[in-house]
A and B are shown apart, each in its own frame.
Chain A
Amino acid sequence: MSEKLERLCRQLKEKFGDRIMEPVLALGEVTVAIPAENYLDAMRQLRDDPVFRFEQLMDLSGIDYSEFTGYQGKRYAAVSQLLSLTHNWRLRVKVFAPDDEFPVVASVMDIWNVANWYEREAFDLFGIHFDGHIDLRRILTDYGFVGHPFRKDFPISGYVEMRYDPEQQRVIYQPVTIEPREVTPRIVREEQYAKGNGRG
């Protein structure tokens, strides 16, 4: 398997040269980052070039790297998981949005129609805009929702809650009344911790 993936890495470098970043092979998976300006062309070539033949886009999702330990770089990325049925291999493509304040990347909806809903979801949850998408509406959150809930600065308890108000006889929104709480704190251990053989 790994031999095959090394071949994929090699071919990526041959075909794209410096239009893409260095492909990374880790844990039996190939990841490649593509600069936003080359993204659309590269994706089309990944689908059509018989060497790659990624017929299917299995998944596309947003990610917010702002609190990633030891990370410095662009905040938002759209990450696609491609699958080739012909060659039976997978590829993960990352594209970082150049502007952190107003993240925009190109839409791959024309290349893989399935991207329609995935991009709507990434827009809804992360506020990443997809240039060229024909129907960029919210998909998962409530009608009239404000904000992008999967961004790291959005609290887990949210900002508003909904209840039925017996006086006004309708459902109303009000500021949340629950306190955010954390039972187990988030800890990142130093290097070498838990690298032993499971003893001590």
Chain B
Amino acid sequence: MVVAEIKNYTINFGPQHPAAHGVLRLVLELDGEVIVRADPHIGLLHRGTEKLAETRTWLQSLPYLDRLDYTSMIPSEHAYCLAIEKLLGVDVPIRAQYVRVMMDEVTRIKNHLLNIGTHALDIGAMTMVLYTFREREDLFDVLEAVCGARMHQAYYRPGGVYRDLPDQMPKYQENRFKNAKTVKELNEARSGTLLDFLEDFTNRFPVLLGEYHTLLTDNRIWKQRTVGIGVVSPERALQLGFSGAMLRGSGIEWDLRKKQPYEVYDRMDFDIPVGVNGDTYDRYLVRMEEMSQSNRIIKQCIEWLRKNPGPVITDDHKVAPPSREKMKGSMEELIHHFKLFSEGMHVPAGEAYAAIEHPKGEMAVWAVSDGANKPYRIKLHTAGIPHLAATDEMTRGHMLADATAIIGTIDLVLGDVDR
């Protein structure tokens, strides 16, 4: 009797694949349609950020941090600034801390909206992404109004934030596509300050979140594609170095905002959502609930920021530049300004590990200084690496089509993994 020789089939997923979220190359070994082994090849987006940072002054490297996770930029800067502040021993004004918390939470909503939208898109629910991008647009407008850039903000500085929140929002202009009536409607929420605009958003958002729930949470197809897919037990989640929504999805209540609070998170009232089964569906629910918790935090920040004006950056001019006005009038301040932007600040020798709760998990910067105006070594710990490393374990035994569901659930951004 002749027995046919059956061999496993190896396929190449990406790097140019719409569901690969950038440039992920996944070598999949298949037995029929079942995944036997997944070997992610990363590094196609490696820019050597850590090495580059060694050749720039501390401040010059800050915008590189935006380019790591290009879907949630501001929290990466946050970790970097916290590490420098720890080394310098600089205090951040309380208003700046509130601004930071608020902007972090805006980014968290923005990140989760993208994740849930594209995850649904990968699985085949086209509509979802249209809705989530509608709300992302408002948040992009917030970021743009705050610092002038939609994508790469470079808004935080060691010692505070670059400038205070703006008093007005940019408005739509009439053109041949938008008539006066449309423009008036669009500008209605934009007539006040940035905080008014954001408050309007936070009031609208719970309703919108309800719309997403209607579309997905009880959707039969969505559940068939996510329930029981990529299950990670709590023990394995710890072994695999998970953090953020991935860890909470597995039922471990761990959130750095609560457990090791930084800035003013200890004054905020919010809850940590936790999953039960550790599957893709639970992680989706965790992210949905996190958005509504972020919304609560933003509301609390808005209320505080309205009542308490004040400085938003430290007045230590060895760290932060003096105001333009002072600089033009005083020799000493001019020298400070010149030294700060030519030679840069000197950070005392030592090392600091600053970790924050990034939308994707724990984002940390390990900064080593030998007292120079440039870092000796910067190690960027991003949440994406351990999550992607676990793809092999999570996809094993699943069908090929589930690979996209699993890549979607780990909230993958390759800029973040490759650095």
Q: Which residues of A contact B (CB under 8 A)?
A: 26-29, 31, 55-59, 61, 63-64, 67-71, 79, 81, 85, 88, 90, 92, 112-114, 116-118, 138-142, 149-150, 156, 182, 184, 186-189, 193-194, 196-200
**B315 at the binding interface (Cβ < 8 Å):** yes
Judge whether B377 is part of the interface by a CB distance below 8 angstroms.
yes
Structural contact, A188 and B371, CB atoms closer than 8 A: yes
Q: List 23 contacting pairs A-B, 8 Å CB cutoff, sorted by A.
A: A26-B350, A27-B86, A58-B381, A59-B366, A59-B381, A61-B379, A69-B370, A85-B254, A114-B386, A116-B389, A117-B386, A117-B389, A140-B419, A141-B43, A184-B342, A184-B374, A186-B374, A187-B372, A187-B373, A189-B371, A196-B318, A198-B317, A198-B318
Selected interface stretch from B49-57, B125-133, B165-173: B49-57
Q: Out of B43, B317, B370, which one reaches A140, CB within 8 Å? A: B43
The chain B residue with its CB closest to the CB of A117 is B389
Query: Which chain A residue lies CB-closest to B332?
Result: A200
Q: Give B contacts to A, CB under 8 Å.
A: 42-43, 46, 48, 50-52, 55-57, 60, 86-87, 238-241, 243, 252, 254, 259-260, 315-319, 332, 342-346, 349-353, 355, 362, 364, 366, 368, 370-374, 376-377, 379, 381, 385-386, 389, 418-419
Q: Which of B317, B353, B371, B389 lies in contact with A90, CB distance below 8 A?
A: B353
Residues of B within 8 A of A31 (CB): 351
Q: Is the CB of A81 within 8 A of B239?
A: no
Whether B240 contacts A184 by the Cβ 8 Å rule is: no
- Of B56, B241, B315, the most chain A CB neighbours within 10 A belong to B241
Chain A nearest CB from B83 CB (Å) reads 10
Given pairs A59-B366, A88-B260, 17 additional interface contacts (CB within 8 A): A27-B86, A29-B353, A58-B364, A63-B379, A67-B376, A69-B371, A79-B379, A81-B366, A85-B238, A92-B353, A112-B241, A140-B46, A140-B418, A142-B43, A149-B51, A184-B60, A196-B318
- Chain B residue numbers with a CB within 8 Å of A118 are 385
Q: B372, A186: Cβ atoms under 8 Å?
A: yes
The answer to whether B50 touches A150 (Cβ under 8 A) is: yes
Closest residue on chain A to residue B362 by CB atoms: A58
Q: Are A187 and B381 in contact (CB under 8 A)?
A: no
* B46 with A27: CB separation less than 8 A: no
Cα separation A200 to B351 with both chains bound (whole Å): 26
When A and B form their complex, which 9 residue pairs have the shortest distance between CB atoms, in order from nearest? Answer: A114-B241, A198-B316, A140-B43, A59-B381, A69-B370, A117-B389, A61-B379, A140-B46, A55-B238
Establish whether residues A194 and B346, one from each chain, have CB atoms under 8 Å apart when the complex forms: yes
Q: Contacts A139-B43, A141-B43 given: A58-B372 contact, CB under 8 Å?
A: no
Q: Which of A29, A31, A56 has the most CB of B within 10 A?
A: A56
Q: Which residues of B contact A69 (CB under 8 A)?
A: 349, 370-372
Least distance between A138 CB and chain B CB atoms (Å): 8
- Please measure, in the bound complex, the distance between the C-alpha atom of A197 and the C-alpha atom of B318, giving whole angstroms: 9
Q: What B residues does A90 contact at CB under 8 A?
A: 353, 355
Residue of B nearest to A158 (CB): B48
B380 nearest CB across to chain A (Å)? 9
Nearest chain B CB to A162 CB, angstrom units:
13
Cα separation A88 to B87 with both chains bound (whole Å): 22
Per the bound structure, the CA–CA distance linking A150 and B260 in Å amounts to: 31
Q: Is the CB of B46 within 8 A of A141?
A: yes
B-side contacts of A139, CB under 8 Å: 42-43
Given A63-B377, A69-B372, A56-B43 contact (CB < 8 Å)? no
Question: Do B43 and A113 have beta carbons less than 8 Å apart?
Answer: no
Question: Which of A67, A79, A182, A187 meets B343, CB within 8 Å?
Answer: A187
Contact assessment for B352 and A27 in the assembled complex, using a CB-CB cutoff below 8 Å: yes
The interface residues of chain B lying within 8 Å CB-to-CB of A138 are 43
Distance from B101 Cβ to chain A, minimum over Cβ atoms (Å)? 20
Report how far A139 CA is from B43 CA in the complex, Å: 7
Cβ-defined partner of B352 (8 Å) among A29, A112, A116, A182: A29
Q: How far is the CB of A123 from chain B (nearest CB, A)?
A: 13
| Known contacts A61-B366, A188-B371, A198-B315, A156 near B52 by CB under 8 Å | yes
User: Which chain A positions have C-beta within 8 A of B352?
Assistant: 27, 29
A117 to B42: give the CA distance in the assembly, Å. Answer: 11
Pick the contact of B350: A27, A57, A188 (CB < 8 A).
A27
Q: A59-B366, A81-B366, A189-B371 are in contact. Are A114 and B389 (CB under 8 A)?
A: yes
| A58–B243 touching, CB < 8 Å | yes
Choose one: A57, A58, A85, A199; the contact of B355 (CB below 8 Å): A58
Residues on B with C-beta less than 8 A from A59 are 364, 366, 379, 381
Q: Complex: how many Å from CA A71 to CA B377? A: 14
A186 to chain B, nearest CB (A): 5
Across the interface, do A27 and B241 meet the contact criterion of CB distance under 8 Å?
A: no
In whole angstroms, how far apart are the Cα atoms of A59 and B240 in the complex? 11
